[in-house]
Chain A
């Protein structure tokens, strides 16, 4: 029964969105982290989504599609530097390098990810009900 494959499709969507939520949490937690060099500074992370494209089977059905996380990319935005000579992490010139996390971007990402996650949960619930109704056929 191909209704079963919907569980894996919705499941892949939920896994991808939870990865996204995970990166948002990591970015927000490190929004105020500082480092002693631009290379060591925290850069905002974002997952890269891609659709899984499988061949159509003989009946023209799409089997086991869904979404996958291709990888996690780091933001290339400029790293802001601050003059804080008193900071133990300051470099020889007295500068510390903060993260390039944009909290507004992260909050928008968080809302979008949680809505998409809810959509996938809804799909799974509806499919479960449809399957239950099919099993009860003729009762």
Chain B
């Protein structure tokens, strides 16, 4: 990614990426709502954003030997298993209502990040056109 774009849209490009990944994880949970033994997963937003280079994280872990924990493994570890509220007999921990609610909330967050980026673009456009456009 170009650093200039990074500064332009701030944290929102990374946030968008994380929301998108979370959408994928939640879609997977819903698709496997009737799969025996499937364990529902979710993404820890704070950890994922830190792994994506957000401001909450410190310096990224550098590896100089194969076999050490890579940044990819760190990103993967942001996926966690959901604690089931109503475990079922077939070992499936997907609670359709919980997943639906999370999916809806996730969509709103995604749109919020999009709005921030749109506002930034609009501001730039105003600056470029000098308020004439």
Contact = CB atoms under 8 A, between A and B. Distances in A.
Nearest to A129: B107
A16 B26 CA distance: 17
Interface string A40-72: 000000000111000011111110011100000
B58 to A, nearest CB: 18
B11 interface: no
Nearest to A63: B24
Interface residues of B, number: 38
Nearest to B19: A130
Interface residues of A, number: 42
A9 B117 contact: no
A112 B38 CA distance: 17
A6 B23 contact: yes
A2 B34 CA distance: 24
A2 B78 contact: no
A45 B81 CA distance: 32
Interface string B9-42: 0000000000011011111101111111010000
Interface string A116-136: 100110110011011001100
Nearest to A61: B21
Contact of B35 (A49, A122, A130, A139): A49
